[in-house]
Structure 1
Amino acid sequence: MKTYILSAACCLTVLLSFFGCKKDKEFKDVQVTEVTTFYSPDDAKKVLLTPTGTLYFEWEKSVAMDNGVVYYDVLFDKENGDFSKPIYTVPADNNGIGRGASVTHKILDRIGKFAGIGSGEEGTIKWTIVASRGISKVVSKQIRSLKITRLTGIEAPASLYLTGEGTEGGAQLAQALTVKSMSGGDTFEIYTKLLGGKSYKFVDSKTNVTRTFSVDNSGSTFKENADGATVIKDGIYRINLDFNAGTVSLQEITKLDFFMCTPQKRTTLTYQGKGTWKVSNMVPDFTSGGFGDDRYFFRMTIAGVDQKVGSSNIDNQPPAVKTGSYFNLFFYPGENNQWNYSFKFPNRTIQKCDVIVSFSAEIANYTHEIVY
């Protein structure tokens, strides 16, 4: 029988190795140095905020004791705050490791709001830098102020919905109607029916409302409040909210006509709800003029003004498809040429057809369809 004997020295080596590994695996908090020098912006700098502006914050480097990566945040507080509970935090550029931060004026406007500065008013906020690595954080003793003049508009939400007993969706929040976000994200638009004398308002969510907006009594501006608003009479309206300016345009649509160019014949579409109009069993006139012309566009009467709604192209060939970008709709106020920006039928042998026009906020582009 073979006997294996482990020497005392060997046993000691194994034990030391085991406890040494355990010790190495313990978390070590890495200390960082305080940021003591700020480069920009200057102390007490005055900034007139604009919708597209950006302000750059820059500071000196902090050093970690293990020479590893240091993370930075810009802390903001009220003029009389002490940064124990900052009102806003912006991480540095480059995922927090840069020694600067590009902060948009829209973010600064939001910070100004949190600091109690009114829309369009001038006020002071303070800022400093915190350097960190792991759980070790060092807030700089240096503090600078920033005097900002807030935007006159209202910070736009990521999404907007229309709700209330005077709307097509009613007062149930889950049925709120989407309001279309236009280019840039600061303007929203919806084509919808409102009931006279019954309340409507705009909210930022269909499930968890954090912000509510209401049109003022003037009908030309709106504020962030839950008051709600009403229209005088039942009607179909185009509502456009400009958050940069804090203004609203609410225009009644009294008619939408299909217009054939050569006979100059109008056929009125009927509103179906949620930004959609339709006419059924329309008989197109291809014979007037004696040359089988099939050009057409639309005329919409908005706030009492008759406007052309047509193609993106001033002239077109017949489409090879029945749906798609060819059928997208564009407004041409003041354009009264009999043929410009007209569409052509996908098939001009049809005897009758349905025409569906959609200004729904649920689709990317306003469009129409010839159904046969």
Structure 2
Amino acid sequence: MKNIIVTSLYTLLASILFFSCKKDDMNYKDVNITAVKTLYAPVNNRSIKLLSSASASLYFEWEAVKAEDGGAASYEVVFDKPTGDFSQPLYKIVSDNNGFSSGATITHKILNRIAGLAGVEPGGSVDVKWTVFSSRGINVVKSDQSATLTITALQGFADLPDEVFITGEGSETGTNLAQAMPFKLNAAGEFEIYTRLEAGKTYYFTDRNSGTPRIFYSDNGSTLKEAEESGVITASKTAVYRINLDFNTATIAYTEITSIGIFFSPENKVLFNLPYQGKGIWRGTGVITFRQESWGRDERYKFQMQTVSNGANVVAQLGTVTGTDSPPNASSPASYYYLRVLPNTSQWDDKWKFMPAVDGKSTTISVLLQGTSPYTHTVQVN
């Protein structure tokens, strides 16, 4: 009996110690962190005229801070009006490397948005100030230092259209406004269309396909303008293009699409091209034979697009949006076939798998890059 009592006491004491330790472990301990003491770049009172290039950026840099536990700190660059105290800032953005770098590459496009929030008119100049918040866990410290930046904004549009169409004799649908092809809205003020233009004929863009719409055009091929009454663009070459309009920066960009083909990953090549059919549709027919491997039949594929941008030949690929790694079946959702332009080209990444019925059969494949629905494709065994 004595041994049983002693054993029970030891068990009780061990339980008390265990739960006491667990309770202590669950108590969160704040980690003290220092404030950023020095802002390196851009220097105080720097002036910058923003550029419409998508790659244009300004680098912000500051002295790294120290955390009490020796861990890595994270940072946010914070912008405010010159009279503000950063308690209700205009804009915040994490630094490079997901917030763990003591520097931030901020695009001119974002700086233009910040200038707009500060009240600048398109093409005008405005002062903003910036500082850095450092943090470690839930502990956030604002730097005592700040610097002023004078921003000359882009000639963007203050009133962004909700939708955009292409019309005119040089467009695929001619001058009938009601039949004008719609652009795809990618983000606020950003529109894209895949379409054919006819050389020597004019076209323009509108914000509606009925009534008396706003008219947009360009007289230099890169700057987007609004016409008071009328304005047109003359196509210099008959070709299929991807046209990108950005009303935030008042810019227009053209990419010629010379071909789209079936890229068969096992053979690392295009099997056959899909001729352009019109209104953002490419379609082609061919026999696709899967590659025999030791583990089975390899059926992986995506699309390859040959383009010409700023006079240079550029290869791009179109791949899956959903990241699938299985072939489709009768119950597969429509999103299985959704596609996007990939940031990089590769043999295996972001591919689909053909259904087994495709193997060795004549198959018709269509790519649909249209403004009224998600970009997608279809596969039909003949």
For 1:296 and 1:149, locate their aligned partners in 2 and report how far apart those are by CA, in whole Å. Answer: 47
Q: Which residue of 1 aligns with 2:94?
A: none
**Counterpart residue type for residue 294 of structure 1:** E
Give, in whole Å, the separation in 1 of the partners of 2:171 and 2:271.
30
Partner letter of residue 298 of structure 2? D
Written as runs of structure 1 = structure 2, the 5 A alignment for 1:1-372 is 119-121=122-124, 152-154=155-157, 155-183=159-187, 185-217=188-220, 219-225=221-227, 226-263=230-267, 264-280=269-285, 282-289=286-293, 291-303=296-308, 304-312=313-321, 316-321=325-330, 324-336=334-346, 338-348=347-357, 350=359, 351-363=361-373, 365-372=374-381
- Asked if the contact 1:193–1:236 (Cα under 8 Å) also holds between the matched residues in 2, the reply is yes
Change (3 A) 1:293 1:189: same
How far apart, in 2, do the equivalents of 1:309 and 1:150 lie? 34
- Structure 1: distance between partners of 2:181 and 2:198: 15
Whether the aligned pair in 2 keeps the contact of 1:297 and 1:308 (CA below 8 Å) is: yes
Give the C-alpha shift of residue 334 in structure 1: 3.3
CA gap 1:265/1:228 in 2 versus in 1, 3 angstroms: closer
3-state SS in 2 of match to 1:325: helix
Partner of 1:48: none
Query: Is the 2:244–2:253 contact (alpha carbons within 8 Å) kept by the matching residues of 1?
Result: yes
Unaligned runs of 5+ in 1: 1-52, 56-103, 113-118, 124-147
> Which one has a larger percent strand, Structure 1 or Structure 2?
2
Residues 262, 289 of structure 1: 8 Å contact kept: no
Provide, for residues 137-195 of structure 1, a one-character-per-residue CA deviation record: whole Å limited to 9, x for no partner. xxxxxxxxxxx987521132122110000000101111111111112x21010000000
Q: Tell whether the 8 Å contact from 2:288 to 2:358 is kept in structure 1 after alignment.
A: no
Root mean square deviation, CA, Å: 2.9
CA distance in structure 2 between the partners assigned to 1:151 and 1:284 by the alignment: 50
Q: 2:272 & 2:207 partners in 1: Cα distance?
A: 38
How much does 1:216 deviate?
A: 2.4
What's the CA shift string for 1:301-337, capped at 9, x where partnerless? 121211111113556111224651111112224322x
Secondary structure of 1:250's counterpart equals strand
Q: When the two structures are aligned, how many residues end up with a matched partner?
A: 237
Aligned mates of 2:290, 2:170 — CA distance in 1: 42
Q: Quote how far apart the aligned CAs of 1:106 are.
A: 8.1
Which AA in structure 2 matches 1:247? T
CA-CA distance at 1:210 after TM superposition: 3.3
Contact 1:260 1:285 in 2 (8 A): no
Secondary structure of the residue aligned to 2:266 is: coil
Task: Report the CA distance between 1:209 and its aligned residue.
Answer: 2.5
Looking at structure 2, the residues matched to 231 and 265 of structure 1 have their Cα atoms a distance apart, in angstroms, of 30
Instruction: Name the SS of the counterpart of 1:318 in structure 2.
Output: coil
Q: 1:108 to 1:164 in 2, by over 3 A?
A: farther
Q: Is the 8 A contact 1:323 1:369 kept in 2?
A: no
**Percent of residue pairs bearing the same amino acid type:** 35
Distance in 2 of aligned mates of 1:191 and 1:242: 15
Q: CA deviation at 1:348?
A: 4.1
**Between structures 1 and 2, the one with greater helix share:** 2
Question: How far apart in 1 are the matches of 2:240 and 2:172?
Answer: 10
Is this contact kept in 2: 1:122–1:150, CA < 8 A? Answer: yes
2:179 & 2:117 partners in 1: Cα distance?
A: 30
Q: 2:324 touches 2:336 (CA, 8 Å); kept in 1?
A: no
Q: For residues 338 and 189 of structure 2, what CA distance do their matches in structure 1 show?
A: 23
Structure 1 residues 262 and 150: CA distance shift in structure 2, 3 A: closer
The two structures have a TM-score, normalised by structure 1, of 0.58
Q: Say if 2:338 and 2:377, in contact at 8 Å, map to a contact too.
A: yes
Greater CA deviation, 155-164 or 236-245?
A: 155-164
